[in-house]
Amino acid sequence: MSDSTRREFVRAAAASTAGASMLGAPALAAGRLSANDRIRAAVVGLRGRGRSHIAAVEKLAAKNVELAALCDIDESVMAQRLRDHVERTGNKPAVYYDIRKLLEDKSIDVVFQATPNHWHALGTIWACQAGKDVYVEKPLSHNAFEGKQAVRAARRYGRIVQHGTQNRSSPEIIEGVQKLKEGLIGKVYLARGLAYKWRNSIGAHKKGPVPAGIHYDLWKGPAPDRPFSNLRLHNKWHWQWDYGNGELGNQGVHQLDMMRWALDLHEHPSRVQSMGGMFVHEDAQETPNAQTVAYEYAGRDLYLNFEIRPWISNVEAGIGEKWPTHGICTGLLFYGSEGYMALPHYGAYYTYLGKNKKPGPFAEDPKDKIKNQPHFDNFIAAVRSRKVGDLNADVEEGHKSSLMAHLGNISYRVRRQVRFDSATERIVDDPEADALLARKYREPFVVREDV
């Protein structure tokens, strides 16, 4: 399909459906919904993770969920996703390039947000203000301030907001966490997250005109007004501070969230120390590709750390060797007084007990390494019940886990330990580090104090 054909296909779909969708039912009321009530969903951000969201929503058709709208700033990606969905289902959703226009559509009930990180919190806040429930990918936020504001918006407008840390809906991981809480490996003294992933060089910036079909101003959104570059789109943004949060805010949030969940860490860390740098590649990447972060929690006799490597690496505790993972060696280890537990991917845990490391209880589902559907199912169930407590990964849990990544990156950037006040959510006695908890926004794409 040529670029011109793609654009014509998308525009025809927009003309035939977008206007009619404005006449639909209002956003879901606060009361409980029956299984017979149709839920109209939109997916925002269609490349990469957004494709998984579309697939999950298509499966939710069995639960009376309809994919009613698609939104992306890339007309070529939009055309491909729309065509594929129409071919699979026969359903032709409305299309939008501007999330603000989508949110004006009163017939949309829920928004699945799979945009780059710098749009996560703002898109969530705007959706809550428009009376829509949200499933937002991790990390919840690009910085600490806007994560807190996303929580406030969800509470103020009574919305159901699920964070995309899907491990919390994995039956095998749930079982492993329960075993750990029951004391299977004794008193836990160390949790260690691993993200050894093969990351190629991103190359150098090649600035030039915005390609046809790219709505670049909308892509930038709340980020600074930088000229277009080949590295500003399609996954390369992860490694630039204006848009992403490095590997710690990418893969790391999954394992950091599991640490908090399993160890009942409900407060924020009190001390964080990070070191690392850019090694192996000589390119335009700004975030570290090798990084170590250490966390302490006030009043808790345990230690947390996370390690990132970008290239050739050994493996640990069988993760990446016995059990394939999403990367060279990606997973989580808990060490206790009576043994240790390895969680190598999204659908398994293994335990080794005593001095001789005798194999203990385990559960595995090697056919499903990324537990997508249960998490989406859980979100829709909570949308129907209107009970925040029914969510496996409520927005507040997302904020706390994402904040761990933000603090680690702040420590790395200022090159020193930071101390954090959990009550005020401010960094103590370090104005330079504290300033990195927030950012300056580009009008009109602003996360405001009053949400």
Can you give the residue ranges of every domain in the chain?
3-167, 170-369+392-435
Mean per-residue pLDDT pooled into runs of 10, the chain (451 residues): 47 42 38 74 96 97 97 98 98 98 98 98 98 98 98 98 97 96 98 97 96 98 97 92 98 98 98 97 97 97 97 95 90 98 91 98 79 94 98 98 98 98 97 98 98 96
Domains 3-167 and 170-369+392-435 share a fold: no
**Topology of domain 170-369+392-435, CATH:** Dihydrodipicolinate Reductase; domain 2 (3.30.360)
Torsions phi, psi of 60, nearest 5?
A: -70, -5
The residue behind tokens 């009163």 is 106
Return phi, psi of residue 336, to 5°. Answer: -130, 175
pLDDT at residue 117, as a whole number: 98
What is the distance between the terminal CA atoms of the chain, rounded to a whole angstrom?
43
User: What are the CA-CA distances from residue 133 to residues 43, 117, 244 (Å)?
Assistant: 12, 19, 24
Q: What is the pLDDT of residue 346?
A: 78
94 neighbors 18 (Cβ within 8 angstroms): yes
CA distances from 297 to 305, 404, 419 (A): 12, 11, 10
Contact 335, 192 (CB under 8 A): yes
The superfamily CATH assigns to domain 3-167 is NAD(P)-binding Rossmann-like Domain (3.40.50.720)
Report pLDDT for 199: 96
pLDDT at position 27 is: 44
Q: What is the pLDDT of residue 16?
A: 39
